[in-house]
């Protein structure tokens, strides 16, 4: 069984509620539990993990990443492969998923390639306006007062105002921790790379305050390929 075959049967949209998108999170971690090596996740990844990463993007209405991750990984157009865009359109999705960003500071990295791509729709939730005058991407800014600027509100607006049924969060650890604390995660796709970082300052896949109680996961599938594990967990036990 290959990653592509596993993802072919994903039917996430039917699981969305009226309140918020069905939300999946994708991470790769080293065998010693770190989410990056030398500041980047790409050193932990391999071909099958990349297939999973791009395959998940193919199946969702929107993709979200924290501003830290957008900056470090220099995000561009989310689905670059025309064949994947064709498959999305064939299955009733828009060719490009919506890119979704939330920022409390209002400091959004508009210099990344994503904002220079005219085919990308980027929805930014922020406390103030954003200068979009020199950006080629279609950018919609949802201004929320600081007290209202929560992930729960963002999710509700994505569902009601932008028709987002399925949302893929690609990290990073600060954003994932915050999503868990607001109880907004339905599934975790976790790749365990057969690699050791040996320590260092890279975080685990979650960061921030500890949860008030342990979140227990149910294993949906586990695939082993070339020593790496590709795990799909549901957060409902
Ligand atoms: N292993 C993996 O699969 C993986 C995946 C992704 C990232 N990474 C690694 O993780 C590192 C970056 O992650 P990170 O944890 O530093 O940053 P991050 O989670 O990508 O982004 C954090 C930022 O997102 C915004 N944010 C998060 N929670 C929010 C909330 N509740 N409300 C409003 N805004 C919120 C804030 O932006 P403002 O500061 O603008 O307010 C916050 O500073 C990089 O080294 C990257 O390579 C690894």
Q: 196: Cβ below 6 Å to ligand 1?
A: no
Rounded CA separation 120/122 (Å): 6
Query: H/E/C letters for each residue in 111-127?
Result: CCHHHHCCCCEEEEEEC
- Give the HSE-up count for residue 59: Cα atoms under 13 Å, Cβ half-sphere: 23
Kindly give the number of the ligand 1 atom that is closest to the alpha carbon of 191: 3
For residue range 108-131, what is the model confidence (pLDDT) as tens digits? 999 999 999 999 999 999 999 999
Q: Domain 19-209+217-234 belongs to what topology?
A: Dihydrofolate Reductase, subunit A (3.40.430)
- Our measurement of the distance from residue 124's CA atom to the centroid of its chain's CA atoms, rounded to an integer in Å, reads 14
Gap from CA of 91 to ligand 1 centroid (Å):
31
Kindly give the number of the ligand 1 atom that is closest to the alpha carbon of 102: 34
Gap from CA of 198 to ligand 1 centroid (Å):
23
Kindly give the number of the ligand 1 atom that is closest to the alpha carbon of 39: 45
Q: 126: Cβ below 6 Å to ligand 1?
A: no
Rounded CA separation 191/11 (Å): 20
User: Is 3 a residue whose pLDDT tops 90?
Assistant: no
For residue range 173-218, what is the model confidence (pLDDT) as tens digits? 999 999 999 999 999 999 999 999 999 999 999 999 999 999 999 9
Kindly give the number of the ligand 1 atom that is closest to the alpha carbon of 34: 1
Helix (H) and strand (E) counts for the chain? 6, 9
Q: 99: Cβ below 6 Å to ligand 1?
A: no
Mean pLDDT on 8-16: 91
Q: 72: Cβ below 6 Å to ligand 1?
A: yes
Gap from CA of 176 to ligand 1 centroid (Å):
8
Q: 190: Cβ below 6 Å to ligand 1?
A: no
For residue range 20-43, what is the model confidence (pLDDT) as tens digits? 999 999 999 999 999 999 999 999
Ligand 1 site-directed mutation target among 74, 148, 171, most atoms within 8 Å of CB: 171
For residue range 132-158, what is the model confidence (pLDDT) as tens digits? 999 999 999 999 999 999 999 999 999
Does pTM top 0.85 for this prediction? yes
Domain ranges of the chain: 19-209+217-234
Kindly give the number of the ligand 1 atom that is closest to the alpha carbon of 27: 3
pLDDT at 19: 97
């Amino acid at each position: 069984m290959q990653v592509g075959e596993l993802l072919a049967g994903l039917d996430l949209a039917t699981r969305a509620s009226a309140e918020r998108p069905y939300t999946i999170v994708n991470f790769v971690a080293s065998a010693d539990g770190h989410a990056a090596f030398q500041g980047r996740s790409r050193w932990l990844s391999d071909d099958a993990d990349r297939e999973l990463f791009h395959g998940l993007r193919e199946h969702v209405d929107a993709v979200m990443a924290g501003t830290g991750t957008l900056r470090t990984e220099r995000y561009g157009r989310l689905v670059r492969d025309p064949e994947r865009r064709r498959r999305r359109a064939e299955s009733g999705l828009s060719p490009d998923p919506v890119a979704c960003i939330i920022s409390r500071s209002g400091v959004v990295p508009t210099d990344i390639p994503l904002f220079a791509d005219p085919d990308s729709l980027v929805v930014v939730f922020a406390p103030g306006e954003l200068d979009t005058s020199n950006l080629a991407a279609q950018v919609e800014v949802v201004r929320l007062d600081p007290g209202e600027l929560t992930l729960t509100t963002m999710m509700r607006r994505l569902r009601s105002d932008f028709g987002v049924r399925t949302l893929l969060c690609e990290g990073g650890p600060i954003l994932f921790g915050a999503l868990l604390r607001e109880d907004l995660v339905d599934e975790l796709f976790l790749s365990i790379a057969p690699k050791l970082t040996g320590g260092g300052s890279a975080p685990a896949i979650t960061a921030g305050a500890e949860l008030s109680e342990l979140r227990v996961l149910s294993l949906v599938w586990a695939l082993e390929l070339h020593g790496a594990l590709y795990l799909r967990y549901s957060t409902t036990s």
